[in-house]
Structure 1
Amino acid sequence: MPHAHETLSETVQRLSRDRFTRFGRLPLQGFQTARERFVRLDPEATRLLLAKRGEMLDLLDDETVREAWISEHVRQLGEVAYRHNQFLSPADIDSSPAAPIYRELLARLRTALAAPSSLMPLDQALQPLLAAHHAALWRWSTGLLAERFGDSLAQPVCSEYRAELQLKVLGIHVQQLAEPILDLGCGEGAHLVRHLRTLGLAAWGMDRLAAPDHVVWQGDWLDADAPLQPQSWGTVISHMAFSNHFQHQHLRRDGTAAAYAARYMKVLEALKPGGRFAYAPSLPFFEALLPQQRFQVTRRPVAGTAMEATEVLRRT
């Protein structure tokens, strides 16, 4: 039921977010095998629909509310897709519209709520609706991955790493970091940013999935310009993030490597003279093109891996 001071619309959105959290963090195969759980509505949601049937019908008939719900569901689905495959871009997700899936869901929900309650208990009436919705989400997810990667279950590892491990991989000693510090692709938890701040360092982060607050920007590094103003950072760090994606796009026939190259140069211009851009994996195909009179490139092997880490010093 609604929490104190919570409108019915807000309650619906809260329950939806809870459902996304529960099912969205499953691997794709896990989502498929969780079908039986997916088609059973949560008890709180069932009680809400029964108690507020008339109000729910009014909300579903309100086009503004309905479209707002659809937009929010599509946004959350995009976040889930990105968590499953970090190489999906916003353009990839936008190319496979999900709004019709949720428009159909709400239309069928309205029909079920409008039917006489004597015909069938509501939770039973909703099971075929949720089963069809589960199938539609499965088709959307696997179709998107198959189109972009040739594999309907393509799920590269998308992990958040301990702050200490990130520093070790990059070969960074905290006492040598020039402030202020930007972690580009800091991850949802911004672990390194918060670790550095506990050490008294001026650190900020940016990530598509991070909740924005006073130390983190939420945004895509190809679009967000606010964090990358000229000569604003002493150090920019990106562990298994920006350069990983740049490398991936470089290897794709239809990749956006040119956009990444332009953004890489914008990162370098955002460094103060004497500032450093530290990242892994290395990008030798692009680093070789940097003008040596302006930038000094240092690569070092990462112990226990076939990977190298890079540090680019801005000379002037």
Structure 2
Amino acid sequence: MLNAASVYGVLENQFELNRNRSLFFRKADGGPVLELSRQTLRMLTEQTDEVAAYLNDGLATGAYTRLVQHVAAKTLARFMEADQFLSFAPDDRVRLVGLYDLFLMQLHRALSRPDLREEASLRRLAAEHYVRLSRFLIESNGEEAVRTFAASPKLTAVPCAEYSSRFQFEMMDLEAADLIEPILDLGCGQHANLVHALRSQGMEAYGMDRSADDAPYLLRGEWLEAAFPLNRWGTILSHMAFSNHAVHHFLRSDGKHEAYVRKYMEILRSLKVGGKFIYTPGIPFLEELVRQNPAFAIQIQRSSSMAERLKEAEGKDGLGRMYTACIRRMI
């Protein structure tokens, strides 16, 4: 008997099979390296009537909508797991749900026709779906962002690491007593280690990240889509987050240059008078925008004590240009 647990189990197996495979690499025959798993194919070819009944029932009860949304959300998570610099606007997320709705409906129709439910036909439908997914990535993030994915069948991940609160305190040379509340950690990571550390000291601290856990003081979303109201924050912190993404986009010819400039200024205006935006690494070309603005004062910490120790331990000067920037709102 096919039920939700078995269907979601097959989907999890399917995601694991294609983990770290590139949507953009093509085999000698022109086909994708992503494929339907044996478990998926067995379910579709050996439990045809049960799958059709499950989908029909889901269309009537709303379970189908939840299924499509789950698969789309899982796909976005895998995209961002492979490359932290990929980002998706709300409209992109809606469109991806539509792509999976299209694919599942194609499979649903194929199961009702003996000539279309053979493995070869199902594989062809899947290949067409993977082509649509690759186009979706190009249209949502630009060709330059995904160009390297075509070089190899296996992805080289650009992961996003989470750091301990102690590490972040030392890298940004923070002193809790100097932080003005309320505090926002921009790009706090899923577990929001720095936010939890600040709150454990009785401070009013919040976090924002697209993968943040569920908590009343954590805001889940993309910072380019988020609103930063005037005079809202006493301190905004961002360790290896906003600045890394801003630099990434400015190095791309099709990057979101203007969007990051606008968001940077919006973040600064969201500070209370006397409030600070503290981030590492610094972003010289954005700091130049505010250097002559009397509303803000720039303080550069050329190299944190932690960065100095890392350089000494590694015997390299690759971190020599790293610094922490502190932008204070003056008026």
The TM-score range, normalised by the shorter chain, is: 0.7 to 0.9
Match of 1:27 in 2: 20
Q: Which amino acid aligns with 1:86?
A: Q
Return the offset for 1:56: 0.6
Aligned residue-pair number: 298
CA–CA separation in structure 1 for the residues paired with 2:202 and 2:124:
51
Match of 2:247 in 1: 247
Specify whether residues 200 and 106 from structure 1 end up closer, same or farther in structure 2 by C-alpha distance, changes over 3 A only. Answer: same
Q: Which amino acid aligns with 1:73?
A: V
Q: Which amino acid aligns with 1:69?
A: L
CA–CA separation in structure 1 for the residues paired with 2:49 and 2:276:
59
CA–CA separation in structure 2 for the residues paired with 1:141 and 1:89:
14
Specify whether residues 166 and 27 from structure 1 end up closer, same or farther in structure 2 by C-alpha distance, changes over 3 A only. Answer: farther
Alignment of 1:1-316 (within 5 A): 11=5, 15=9, 18-19=12-13, 22=16, 26-28=19-21, 39-41=37-39, 55-59=53-57, 62=60, 66-91=64-89, 94=92, 98=96, 99-100=98-99, 103-108=102-107, 111-112=110-111, 129=122, 133=126, 136-137=129-130, 140=133, 144=138, 147-149=143-145, 150-152=147-149, 155-225=157-227, 228-290=228-290, 291-299=292-300, 300-301=302-303, 302-303=307-308, 304=311, 305=319, 306-316=321-331
Return the offset for 1:22: 4.8
2:224–2:263 contact (8 Å) kept in structure 1 = yes
Q: Deviations over 1:45-102 (max 9, x none)?
A: 89xx699657414236659654553344223212221221122121599399654455
Unaligned runs of 5+ residues in structure 2 are: 26-32, 151-155, 312-318
Q: Deviations over 1:240-275 (max 9, x none)?
A: 111111112222222212111111111111111111
Q: Which amino acid aligns with 1:200?
A: G
Specify whether residues 252 and 79 from structure 1 end up closer, same or farther in structure 2 by C-alpha distance, changes over 3 A only. Answer: same
In structure 2, the residue corresponding to 1:289 is in which secondary structure?
helix
In structure 2, the residue corresponding to 1:276 is in which secondary structure?
strand
Match of 2:315 in 1: none
Specify whether residues 17 and 309 from structure 1 end up closer, same or farther in structure 2 by C-alpha distance, changes over 3 A only. Answer: farther
CA–CA separation in structure 2 for the residues paired with 1:194 and 1:95:
29
CA–CA separation in structure 2 for the residues paired with 1:199 and 1:130:
55
2:181–2:203 contact (8 Å) kept in structure 1 = yes
In structure 1, the residue corresponding to 2:180 is in which secondary structure?
coil
Bigger drift between 254-263 and 102-111 goes to: 102-111
CA–CA separation in structure 1 for the residues paired with 2:60 and 2:93:
27
Could you tell me the percent identity over the aligned residues? 28
Return the offset for 1:104: 2.7
Return the offset for 1:198: 2.0
1:39–1:127 contact (8 Å) kept in structure 2 = no
Q: Deviations over 1:262-311 (max 9, x none)?
A: 11111111111111111112111111121442211122224321322211
Specify whether residues 296 and 23 from structure 1 end up closer, same or farther in structure 2 by C-alpha distance, changes over 3 A only. Answer: farther
CA–CA separation in structure 2 for the residues paired with 1:54 and 1:88:
35
TM-score by length of 1: 0.74
Match of 1:119 in 2: none
CA–CA separation in structure 2 for the residues paired with 1:52 and 1:39:
18
CA–CA separation in structure 1 for the residues paired with 2:239 and 2:284:
16
1:39–1:130 contact (8 Å) kept in structure 2 = no
CA–CA separation in structure 1 for the residues paired with 2:78 and 2:91:
11
